[in-house]
Amino acid sequence: MQLRKLATHGSPEAVRRSFAWPRAWAVGGHSAIAEFLESTALFTSPLHYVDLLPRQRVRALLREGADIHARAKEDGPTPLQRALRLQQDGAAPPGSAAEMLVQAGGLWSPSTHSLFPASARRFAVQLLLLGALLARSPRFCAQSQAMQDVWLEYIMAHAVRRPASRR
């Protein structure tokens, strides 16, 4: 239990520093620990442990700007890829933390707004206000609602982004 807590709330590097190599654990009769360490060797973010995390923790990590595309090396899994795999395998039911992570990996929308980091949410509010001003301008007065709809669903969806991956 302590290993999982460290993995999901600490840094993956702390897990590797705190425990000997998996083979040593297997030799000592702790094959479950060895398997866990081997299967998570390429995890670089707490989000990689999405199947072990509660929704509130995933939401907090996303809002803090955790990188959904983090990977240890080029062919390593990203947290988003893990969540997608969990969905494909039927291990991410509606309302699960993995489903939330998949939603956060999509385009910005009013329904995913709360899953973006503070900087992206502030930018979305600024864009929303700009769109409202444009929709009220004389040029669009006859199509004000249509302009707002297009602005919200298309312009903002492609303009509001997560910070670039650190890798």
Q: Report, in angstroms and rounded to the nearest whole number, the Rg of the chain calculated over CA atoms.
A: 20
Integer Cα distance of 58 and 64 in angstroms:
10
117's CB contacts (< 8 A; 6+ apart) are 62, 63, 64, 65, 162, 163
pTM across the whole model: 0.79
Q: How many angstroms separate the CA atoms of 71 and 111, rounded?
A: 27
Q: How far apart are CA 76 and CA 162, in angstroms?
A: 20
Burial class from Cβ neighbours inside 10 Å (0-12, 13-18, 19+) for residue 26 reads: middle
> pLDDT (tens digit, 0 to 9) for every residue of the chain, 167 residues total?
565 666 666 666 665 555 555 555 555 667 777 788 788 888 999 999 999 999 999 999 999 999 999 998 888 999 999 999 999 999 999 999 999 999 999 999 999 999 999 999 999 999 999 999 999 999 888 898 999 999 999 999 999 999 887 65
